[in-house]
Amino acid sequence: MADRAEGAVATMDERGAPPPKLALRDLVKTRRSTAGETVTAVDHVTLDVFQGEFVCLLGPSGCGKTTILNILAGLDAPTSGQALLDGRPIAGPGPDRAVLFQEPALFPWLSVVGNVEFALKHVGVPQDERRDRAMGWLENVHLTNFANAQPHELSAGMRQRTALARALACDPDVLLGDEPFGALDAQARELLQNEVQRVWVESEGRKTFVFVTHNVREAALLADRVLVMTAAPGKLLEEQRIYAPRPRQLDDALVSRVVSEIHEILMLEVSKGGGS
């Protein structure tokens, strides 16, 4: 499946194709600052994400990318414009759109396997099947030996891997990531990036991933399409398609080239921001 990205483009161009998996139509999100002023976090953003795509939203902190992700998750509502899932407005959160948060957000009163079972329980998996299936997901992220540990006994990377297992246990159509690896050390981050890439490749076009990041290398490694955003108020600045074959490594020549291209766009944007 080296050229999955091109496949996705083809679907988009076909007439009468199904609606995009996720879509934003002229999305605006404002919020009131503590000083009482109205701040525009997201400024008229329109975008389509098609089923089976891996899209990264890339931008400096405060560019509204987390806000976009929260709106897609159904945890936040647009001020104006629309957020659509399969062509229908997003009304709230649900296990069809799992979220990896910046922090693992594990439930500290549950064991590692208990956290994964929580997800299975709420998508209606019968009780006697939950343990086996949860163990299967933990095996997938190499945490079998820590199934009965409590979250606080794990390293940061292992906690985020547990969160990944928990998110995938819902068998979501969409996985949303809000800089989920930002707080990890380099090795743990690379391990998790590889896990995420593998899960996405293995879903063979069934699962749609949207990740938010400020890490250019991460975006170039993971995404079919990188959407570069401007600093506040958040707008889409540029779209970069990445056709490098999978599975990718950070030191692949093509990945490195994309990294430096995106870097240039960002530097230009930052220097413009500094001049105004």
Partner 1 sequence: MRRIAREIGPPLAGVVGLLVVWAIVAAFASPRTVPSPASVWSALRRGISDGTIPEAAVKTLIRLVFSFAVSIVIGTALGFGLALNEFARRSVRPLVVALQITPFIAWLPLAVVWFGLSERAVVFVAIVGAFPSVTLATISSFGQVPPLLKRAGRTLGAEGWHLYRGVIFPAALPGYVGGLQQAWGFAWKALMAGELITAGLNATGLGQLLARSQDDVPALVATVAVIVVIGVLVEYLVFVRLERRIRARRGLLLSG
Q: Token pair for residue 254?
A: 């093509």
Question: According to CB under 8 A, which one of 32, 37, 109, 128 is a site residue for partner 1?
Answer: 109
According to the binding rule CB under 8 A, does residue 95 interact with partner 1? yes
The reply to whether 103 sits near partner 1 by the rule CB under 8 A is yes
Q: 134 vs 226, which CB is nearer to partner 1? A: 134
> Cβ(164)–Cβ(194) under 8 Å?
no
Q: Is 73 in the site for partner 1 (CB under 8 A)?
A: yes
CA-to-CA distance for 132 and 144, rounded, in angstroms? 11
Q: Which residue from 24, 49, 41 is spatially nearest to 226, judged by alpha carbons?
A: 49
Contacting residue, 132, 139, 153, 202, with partner 1 by CB under 8 A: 153
Number of residues that bind partner 1 (CB under 8 A): 29
Instruction: Tell how many helices (H) and how many strands (E) occur in the chain.
Output: 8, 10
Using CB under 8 A as the binding rule, whether residue 108 contacts partner 1 is answered as: yes
Q: Binding residue for partner 1 (CB under 8 A) from 47, 98, 222, 244?
A: 98
- Nearest CB to partner 1, comparing residues 4 and 166: 166
Residue 122 C-beta: closest distance to partner 1, Å: 4
138 binds partner 1 (CB under 8 A): no
**Does residue number 234 form part of the binding site for partner 1 (CB under 8 A)?**
no
Distance CA 170, CA 125 (A): 9
CA distances from 96 to 161, 173, 210, 251 (A): 19, 5, 13, 33
Under the binding rule (CB under 8 A), the answer on residue 122 touching partner 1 is yes
Instruction: Tell which one of 44, 121, 133, 214 touches partner 1 (CB under 8 A).
Output: 121
Asked if 34 contacts 55 with a C-beta cutoff of 8 angstroms, the reply is no
Residue 94 touching partner 1 (CB under 8 A) = yes
Stretch that binds partner 1, among 6-14, 52-60, 126-134, 144-152 (CB under 8 A): 144-152
At residue 169, φ and ψ (nearest 5 deg) are -60, -25
Q: Is 78 in the site for partner 1 (CB under 8 A)?
A: no
How far apart CA 11 and CA 187 sit, in angstroms, is: 36
SS3 breakdown of the chain: % helix, strand, coil, rounded to 5?
40, 25, 35
Say if residues 24 and 52 touch (Cβ distance below 8 Å): no
Among 252, 166, 248, 266, which residue's Cα sits nearest to residue 1? 248
Q: Residue 229, Cα to own-chain centre: how many angstroms?
A: 15
Residues in the chain: 276
Least Å distance between CB 98 and partner 1? 6
One of 9, 39, 105, 265 touching partner 1 (CB under 8 A): 105
The yes or no reply on residue 40 touching partner 1 (CB under 8 A) is no
Beta bridge partners of 39: 31
- Contact characters 169-208, partner 1, x per CB under 8 A: -x--------------------------------------
Binding site for partner 1 (CB under 8 A): 73-75, 92-95, 97-99, 101, 103, 105, 107-110, 118-119, 121-123, 150-153, 166-167, 170
